[in-house]
């Protein structure tokens, strides 16, 4: 899946099917560092924890929670809530 296709699913709780056949449920978001955009994955609960940690600048917790994701490995994305 390319970034244009994925943009409809960023910051939304979704079911993702990966190229390996594995199915995961959670949220993908992106962070920009200069000109580089990175994508991360976490469960819905972990994403909420990440947001709270980010608000209080608890970057150690943020690092523990976020999992880098290669968007090229995503084959299907299906939103699970409105």
Per-residue pLDDT of the chain (82 residues; tens, 9 = 90+): 888 889 999 999 999 999 999 999 999 999 887 888 899 999 999 999 999 999 999 999 999 999 999 999 999 999 997 5
The reported pLDDT for the residue numbered 77 is 95
- Residue 82 is predicted with a pLDDT of 52
Q: What is the pTM of this model?
A: 0.86
What pLDDT does 2 receive?
A: 83
- Its CATH architecture, for the domain 3-79, is Roll (2.30)
pLDDT of residue 34: 81
- Under 8 Å between Cβ of 47 and 29: yes
């Amino acid at each position: 899946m390319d970034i244009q296709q994925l943009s409809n699913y960023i910051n939304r709780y979704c079911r993702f099917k990966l190229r390996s056949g594995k199915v995961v449920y959670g949220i993908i978001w992106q962070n920009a560092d200069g000109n580089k955009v990175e994508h991360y994955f976490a469960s819905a609960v972990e994403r909420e924890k990440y947001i709270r940690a980010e608000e209080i600048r608890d970057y150690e917790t943020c690092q523990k929670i976020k999992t880098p994701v290669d968007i090229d490995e995503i084959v299907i994305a299906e939103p699970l809530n409105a």
